[in-house]
């Protein structure tokens, strides 16, 4: 028996989440949702079919109440808006942000926000300025590929309304660090696509990119097109269910090469060094208060610091790269920057080594048994 949603519930009917039963102190960041759905129909994405093209919205008062609840339950620091596209309804996002700003001011700015949004937000300086005032620091954007023909083929022309590198620089100018989703294995890929991507990473200085192999999901235009062509592969030994136009081993080798190049420790820290100079100075500056400096957070910071020093500064094989970055920040007393960069970089460096050696899946939706090694073409 298959159960399907006949009518999606209005988000204004959602209750305040039971944050009090979650051990919020065990999480690196909290989460909150304002909208559900996305107006764009990208070929590979299942969001429009699952959640609709006309985003459902919560009222600003609901968001304020949820922030109150998070704060009452002891949450401070990073909060992630899990919306499919934070600017899926641009007017609604623009109307919400002044409420968030007012809430932050009333409560001494206890939260730092991050979200997912389409890259064409770079055309909306009025929204970006409000996001800066609300203390948004990070935005994940589905860039997918730097190749224009590929973006057109997947129905993502909105990424081309502003040159991609210019859009990233615009986000940085408002203190927003861009993260990127990238796909390899597209029908438009060529043997040079890996080099193009690696060059883009260097030029964009995007510090963290989720580089994923193309995967066809049900209820997507991609699935329908590939199914008609007989190109959906049901093989648990493969990293993707797509029969690529390029040879499978060549795609896997290209993925492996790009990942190792992009997440070479020196490269990662060089991109973060750029963020320190080009992005972080554009953020709001705050005075310390009880929400930003308290014994609970101080204890947590001490534990994280000790782990970073041990695992990254002592045990890692790239500790010299880390200390070169860290010492420059220590002189300024910017411990928070050191910890955040070290944690993000370490996670991606370790994940890259696991994914390229077969200990982790290269595609997020892969069914491959991780006990089997990743097969790559001979180099």
pLDDT at 74 over 90: no
Q: Could you write out the DSSP letters of every residue in 130-170?
A: HHHHHTEEEEEEEEE-S-HHHHHHTT-GGGGSS-HHHHHHH
Tell me the β-bridge partners of 79: 30, 113
Distance of CA 269 to the CA centre of its chain: 18
Tell me the per-residue pLDDT of 319-358, one tens digit each, with 9 for 90 and over: 999 999 999 999 988 999 999 999 999 999 999 999 998 8
Residue 255's contacts (CB-CB under 8 Å, 6 or more residues apart) are: 184, 185, 194, 211, 213, 239, 356, 362
Domains of the chain: 11-278 (3.80.30.20)
**pLDDT-based confidence at residue 374 (cuts at 50, 70, 90):** very low
Q: What is the pLDDT of residues 208-243, one digit of tens each?
A: 999 999 999 999 999 999 999 999 999 988 999 999
Assign 375 a pLDDT band (cuts: 50, 70, 90): very low
83, 37 contact by CB (below 8 A): no
User: Alpha helix (H) ranges present in the chain?
Assistant: 47-51, 60-72, 90-106, 125-134, 148-153, 164-173, 193-204, 221-228, 248-262, 265-278, 295-308, 319-332, 335-357
70-74, 285-289, 321-325: the lowest-pLDDT one: 285-289
pTM confidence score? 0.92
**pLDDT value for 376:** 41
């Amino acid at each position: 028996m298959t159960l399907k949603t006949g009518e999606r519930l209005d988000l204004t009917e959602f209750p305040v989440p039971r944050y009090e039963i979650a051990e919020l102190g065990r999480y690196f960041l909290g989460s909150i949702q304002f909208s559900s759905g996305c107006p764009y129909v990208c070929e590979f994405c299942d969001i429009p079919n699952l959640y609709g093209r006309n985003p459902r919205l919560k009222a600003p008062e609901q968001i304020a109440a949820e922030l109150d609840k998070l704060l009452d339950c002891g949450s401070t620091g990073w909060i992630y808006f899990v919306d499919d596209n934070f600017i899926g309804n641009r007017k609604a996002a623009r109307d919400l942000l002044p409420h968030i700003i007012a809430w932050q001011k009333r409560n001494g700015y206890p939260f730092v926000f991050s979200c997912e949004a389409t890259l064409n937000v770079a055309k909306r300086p009025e929204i970006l300025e409000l996001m800066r005032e609300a203390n948004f620091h990070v935005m994940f954007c589905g860039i997918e590929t730097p190749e224009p023909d590929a973006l057109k083929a997947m129905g993502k022309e909105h990424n081309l309304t502003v040159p991609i590198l210019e859009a990233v620089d615009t986000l940085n100018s408002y203190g927003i660090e861009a993260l990127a989703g990238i796909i390899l294995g597209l029908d438009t890929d060529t043997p040079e696509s890996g080099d193009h991507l690696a060059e883009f990473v260097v030029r964009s200085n995007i510090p963290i990119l989720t580089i994923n192999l193309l995967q066809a999901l049900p209820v997507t235009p991609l699935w329908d097109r590939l199914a008609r062509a007989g190109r959906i592969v049901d093989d648990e030994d493969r990293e993707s269910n797509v029969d690529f136009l390029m040879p499978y081993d060549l795609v896997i080798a290209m993925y492996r090469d790009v990942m190792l190049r992009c997440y070479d420790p020196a490269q990662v820290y060089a991109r973060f060094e750029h963020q320190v100079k080009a992005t972080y100075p554009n953020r709001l500056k705050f005075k310390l208060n009880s929400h930003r400096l308290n014994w609970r957070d101080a204890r947590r910071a001490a534990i994280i610091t000790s782990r970073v020093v041990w695992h990254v500064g002592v045990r890692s094989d790239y500790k010299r790269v880390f200390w070169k970055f860290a010492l420059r920040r220590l002189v300024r007393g910017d411990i928070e920057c050191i910890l955040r960069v070290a944690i993000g970089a370490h996670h991606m460096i370790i994940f890259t080594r696991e994914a390229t050696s077969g200990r982790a899946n290269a595609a997020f939706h892969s069914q491959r048994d991780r006990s089997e090694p990743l097969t790559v073409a001979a180099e």
